[in-house]
Amino acid sequence: MVFGSVSPWEVTGPVDYDRLIEEFGTQRLDENLVKELESLAGESHYMLRRKIYYSHRDLDLVLKDFREGRGFFLYTGRGPSGPMHIGHMIPFHFTQWLQKRFKVNVYIQLTDDEKFLEEKRRLSLEETRRWSYENALDIIAVGFDPDRTFIFQDTEYIRNIYPAVLKVAKKVNLSTARAVFGFSLSTNIGLILFPAIQIVPTFFERKRCLIPAAIDQDPYWRVQRDIAESLGYKKAAAIHSKFIPPLTGFQGKMSSSAPESAIYLSDPPDVVRTKVMKYAFSGGQPTAELHRKLGGNPEIDVPFQWLYMFLEEDDSEVERIREEYRSGRMLTGELKEILIKKVNEYLEIHRQRREEAKELINTFKYDGKLAKEMWERVID
């Protein structure tokens, strides 16, 4: 099989997750480390048990810092290029869980600058700013602690981080940036500066920074780790997840430019039903008769994978579904019905919480405890 490529701006082809560990030079998240994390958290998490989070950098040092009283902080983000889909929610739910269990600060960056600069998107700055607002509501709906969370939008907060951006930018030469991010002579120079802006929040505290995200964001942390210590900060730690596959099958990640490949948080129930029924890639057999005889393949079945990776937290239920499907007792249509129900239940709760988030947005962005502190500081 020919595998595709993964970078912060593009994920193509089937993703070979083991190869990425080698290519990016990260570490596999092994059972012992997961046990230690869960024991300090006082709770297990299904995304850890199921190896959805499967790779890391220095998570062992984060846990050591925590054990020894030095603490740590969390940082993650979103590129506001349009409506958020189900896959984008994975890092936010996991970050929120970590915040709740470890009682630590969370910084969430909205890169309205980045999404404006990416030429293929053809978005105006007004549009990426508007999406920043819309996406912030989706993120707040996840349930972050208002006293310990700061959501900031680059074009607004830049004044406070510009001195640090300059210090980072001066440390990274074009040849490194080109090797890591694949810049070419036709890349606009805004995008060439941008990595410095995504790196700076790892310096918001002197403590170690832990970044939960899918593995596509790792190139930034590689650069950060090369320069952090020379600027008097710690190397960032990261915990990397796999991608929820597109509805249409295991090629790349869900994309805003291919609406049939994703379920958006704004999709109403009938749209969810149509998308799943029409587009969800199935690991079932061509006919019901053959399916009953030969059984389905849950490993390549997107409805099953969505349940496993995200929507069905209950281990015994997810294993029951796997077994029923593999044995052929459960048909593709039945599995799709389970997914539709789960997605619509999730979205229904999300819609309510998103409404409530409208009252909270100023707290997270400007006047909550952490937000206020951050607006009073200049990072340098």
Does residue number 153 form part of the binding site for ligand TYM (CB under 6 A)?
no
Does residue number 165 form part of the binding site for ligand TYM (CB under 6 A)?
no
* Structural tokens at position 66: 């925590």
* Structural tokens at position 73: 């902080």
Which stretches within the chain are classed as H helix? 17-24, 31-41, 46-49, 59-67, 89-102, 112-117, 125-140, 154-171, 174-181, 189-199, 218-227, 269-279, 288-294, 302-306, 315-327, 332-357, 361-362, 369-375
Does residue number 88 form part of the binding site for ligand TYM (CB under 6 A)?
yes
Whichever of 105 and 241 has its CB closer to ligand TYM, that residue is: 241
Does residue number 217 form part of the binding site for ligand TYM (CB under 6 A)?
yes
Rounded CA-CA distance 369/143 in Å is 16
Question: 128, 110 in Cβ contact below 8 A?
Answer: no
Nearest residue to 158 via CA among 110, 116, 122, 107? 110
Whichever of 73 and 75 has its CB closer to ligand TYM, that residue is: 75
Does residue number 335 form part of the binding site for ligand TYM (CB under 6 A)?
no
Burial (CB < 10 A; 0-12, 13-18, 19+), residue 100, is: middle
Size of the site for ligand TYM (CB under 6 A): 24
Angle at 172 between CA 170 and CA 173, to 5 degrees: 100
Rounded CA-CA distance 213/241 in Å is 6
Which range in 66-74, 87-95, 156-164, 333-341 contacts ligand TYM by CB under 6 A? 87-95
Maximum CA extent, the chain: 67
Residues 107-146 that bind ligand TYM (CB under 6 A): 109, 111, 114
Residue span 251-290 as binding mask against ligand TYM, x where in contact by CB under 6 A, dash where not: --xx------------------------------------
User: Which residue's entry shows tokens 């900060």?
Assistant: 233
Whichever of 182 and 334 has its CB closer to ligand TYM, that residue is: 182
Q: List phi, psi (to 5°) of 70.
A: -85, -20
Which range in 54-62, 85-93, 343-351, 355-363 contacts ligand TYM by CB under 6 A? 85-93
Does residue number 210 form part of the binding site for ligand TYM (CB under 6 A)?
no
Rounded CA-CA distance 62/48 in Å is 16
Residue span 292-331 as binding mask against ligand TYM, x where in contact by CB under 6 A, dash where not: ----------------------------------------
Does residue number 79 form part of the binding site for ligand TYM (CB under 6 A)?
yes
Residue span 232-251 as binding mask against ligand TYM, x where in contact by CB under 6 A, dash where not: ---------x-xx-------
The number of residues in the chain equals: 380
Whichever of 253 and 350 has its CB closer to ligand TYM, that residue is: 253
Does residue number 213 form part of the binding site for ligand TYM (CB under 6 A)?
yes
Question: 306, 283 in Cβ contact below 8 A?
Answer: no
Does residue number 96 form part of the binding site for ligand TYM (CB under 6 A)?
no
Pairing of strands 53-57, 237-241: antiparallel
Whichever of 75 and 325 has its CB closer to ligand TYM, that residue is: 75
Nearest residue to 85 via CA among 212, 239, 258? 258
Does residue number 224 form part of the binding site for ligand TYM (CB under 6 A)?
no
Question: 142, 360 in Cβ contact below 8 A?
Answer: no
Shortest Å distance, C-beta 217 to ligand TYM: 4
Question: 128, 82 in Cβ contact below 8 A?
Answer: no
Shortest Å distance, C-beta 173 to ligand TYM: 21
Does residue number 55 form part of the binding site for ligand TYM (CB under 6 A)?
no
Alpha carbon separation from 172 to 77, 180, 222 (Å, rounded): 22, 11, 12
Does residue number 216 form part of the binding site for ligand TYM (CB under 6 A)?
yes
Does residue number 77 form part of the binding site for ligand TYM (CB under 6 A)?
yes
Binding ligand TYM (rule: CB under 6 A), the pick from 20, 66, 87, 161 is 87
Rounded CA-CA distance 169/172 in Å is 5
Radius of gyration of the CA atoms of the chain, in A: 21
Binding ligand TYM (rule: CB under 6 A), the pick from 72, 73, 74, 76 is 76
Whichever of 196 and 214 has its CB closer to ligand TYM, that residue is: 214
Binding interface with ligand TYM (CB under 6 A): 8, 75-79, 87-88, 90-91, 109, 111, 114, 198, 211, 213-214, 216-217, 241, 243-244, 253-254
